[in-house]
């Protein structure tokens, strides 16, 4: 990564490994990134999460995050276009969430204990019937989890329900 141009596809862990000042730059850009000081998060989520996913966690446009990092770390901003407002999740809930969740998880508590939401949700989904759902609550958009579950063929609905409150519903596919 060292010497490479920072892009939305850059992994957060690679960025932190290549640029010693990147952690403080990220925290200055969005205080939610203080979680990167957690060694468990650094060893797990940061290794798989891209800046595009991190921007969703911070509820900010990805190009704004990338542009700010490039500026802070001395890279050319180039023609990085502004990509509008932050992501607030889907707006209209699908009918399948009315059936409720078979299991609920608190992503913040899991991360604090050194557990990864992706692994725990995957394990839990394995024990459910097709069509049953899991609810993950957090203080941020769990972008890596959302992407991982979609890639595994599950349906995902995510919404912001408060200033620092998100729900991610995962329906087994």
Contact indicator for 25, 72 with CB cutoff of 8 Å = yes
Contact indicator for 164, 137 with CB cutoff of 8 Å = no
Indicate the burial class of 95 (C-beta count within 10 angstroms; 0-12, 13-18, 19 or more): exposed
In a domain, 86, yes or no: no
Q: pTM for the whole thing?
A: 0.62
Question: Hey, which bits of 7-124 come out as E strands?
Answer: 103-106
3-class DSSP state of 61: coil
- pLDDT score at 131: 94
- Which domain CATH number covers 151? 3.30.110.40
Q: What would the pLDDT profile of 114-166 be if each residue is shown by its tens digit?
A: 888 888 999 999 999 999 999 999 988 888 888 889 889 999 998 888 887 88
**Measured between alpha carbons, how far is 51 from 53 in angstroms, rounded to an integer?**
5
Q: What would the pLDDT profile of 23-69 be if each residue is shown by its tens digit?
A: 999 999 988 888 888 887 787 778 888 998 888 888 888 888 998 99
Q: Residue 42 is part of which domain span? A: 12-72
Same domain, 103 and 158: yes
Number of residues that this document lists for the chain: 173
Same domain, 60 and 111: no
Same domain, 164 and 115: yes
Same domain, 110 and 157: yes
- pLDDT score at 136: 96
In a domain, 6, yes or no: no
3-class DSSP state of 135: strand
- Percent of the chain as helix, strand, coil, to the nearest 5: 45, 15, 40
Domains in the chain, number: 2
Q: Are strands 155-162 and 133-138 parallel, antiparallel or unpaired?
A: unpaired
Would the pLDDT of 84 be above 50?
A: no
- pLDDT score at 33: 87
Measure CA 53 to chain center: 5
Q: What would the pLDDT profile of 94-121 be if each residue is shown by its tens digit?
A: 889 988 999 999 998 988 888 888 889 9
Q: What would the two tokens of residue 27 be?
A: 């925290």
3-class DSSP state of 57: helix
In a domain, 85, yes or no: no
**Measured between alpha carbons, how far is 70 from 33 in angstroms, rounded to an integer?**
17
In a domain, 152, yes or no: yes
């Amino acid at each position: 990564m060292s010497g490479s141009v920072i892009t939305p596809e850059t992994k957060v862990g690679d960025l932190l490994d290549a640029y010693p000042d990147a952690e403080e730059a990220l925290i200055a850009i969005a205080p939610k990134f203080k979680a990167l000081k957690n060694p468990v998060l650094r060893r797990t989520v940061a290794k798989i999460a891209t800046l595009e996913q991190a921007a969703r966690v911070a509820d900010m446009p990805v190009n704004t995050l990338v542009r700010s990092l490039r500026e802070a770390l001395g890279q050319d901003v180039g023609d990085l276009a502004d990509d509008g407002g932050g992501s607030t999740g889907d707006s209209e809930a699908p009918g399948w969430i009315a059936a409720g969740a078979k299991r609920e998880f608190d992503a913040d508590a899991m991360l604090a204990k050194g557990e990864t939401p992706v692994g725990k949700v995957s394990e839990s989904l394995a024990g459910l019937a097709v069509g049953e759902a899991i609810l993950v609550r957090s203080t941020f958009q769990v972008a890596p989890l959302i992407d991982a579950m979609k890639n595994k063929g599950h349906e995902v609905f995510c919404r912001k329900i408060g200033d620092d409150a998100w729900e991610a519903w995962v329906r087994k596919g």
